[in-house]
Amino acid sequence: MISNHLGMVEALRPASNELAAEVEQFLAAGGHIEEGPACGYIPKPITYSNQMPPAPKPFVRRRVEPVSLTEPTNTKLEERIEARKKRVEKVMELAPSHTQGEVSKMTGIGRRALLNMSLEFKFKFKTSPRGRHGNPEHMKALADRDAKLAERIKAFMEIGISRRKVCGKLGINTKTLARVLKNHAIDYPLSKPGGERCAA
């Protein structure tokens, strides 16, 4: 090890020369210096191998079985076409006497699929009566509801509640209120400008 302190090196030089002379004298007399085993990490020796990499596996072409043209083949596509044909026949049988919603519940087919099917095969479903234009049950339920509203509106009118307040208490809009008043001939007075709008 080289020291940066040259004065110390020069001071130890006589002792170093004396030690070197004793080593030479020991070796000249037939002595042998043994080297002890290394301590700590011992690196592995470097080895060189001339072994070649393994040869690649040979390419093996898979054997494909020939398809016989004489035997009939029933593929999955043909099965799907046959199943769809049966569904169309079933839907076309139900369409004249059932609505689209009823056919959907009976067959489990979605309404969009039924619509596309009717456009493709040119058939129509039974018309569904909707609202007040053709559904007797809806009309009856609506009349019963308006009758109950009319009774409550008359009660509110007797205690002097304004129309706006009636709509809020009953949870209806002004159009519904006007329809009930007209159908049941109720003369509900309007609130006067600047007057008392709610007595309750």
pLDDT in tens, 55-84: 888 888 777 776 665 555 567 888 888 999
Q: What is the pLDDT of residue 2?
A: 56
Per-residue pLDDT of 95-124, as tens digits, reads 998 888 889 888 888 889 999 999 999 999
Q: Which of 178, 197, 196 is CA-nearest to residue 188? A: 178
What's the average model confidence in pLDDT over 142-163? 90
Q: Which of residues 26 and 4 earns the better pLDDT score?
A: 26
Cα 8 to Cα 81: distance, rounded to the nearest angstrom: 103
CA distances to 54, 108, 175, 198, 199 from 150, in Å: 97, 43, 14, 19, 20
Q: Kindly state the tokens that stand for 170.
A: 């009953």
Q: Which residues contact 96 (CB under 8 A, 6 or more apart)?
A: 126
Q: What is the pLDDT of residue 68?
A: 61
Q: What is the pLDDT of residue 26?
A: 85
The H or E element containing residue 41 is: none
Q: Using the 8-state DSSP alphabet, how is residue 199 labeled?
A: -
pLDDT band of residue 150 (cuts 50, 70, 90) is very high
Q: What is the mean pLDDT of the chain?
A: 81
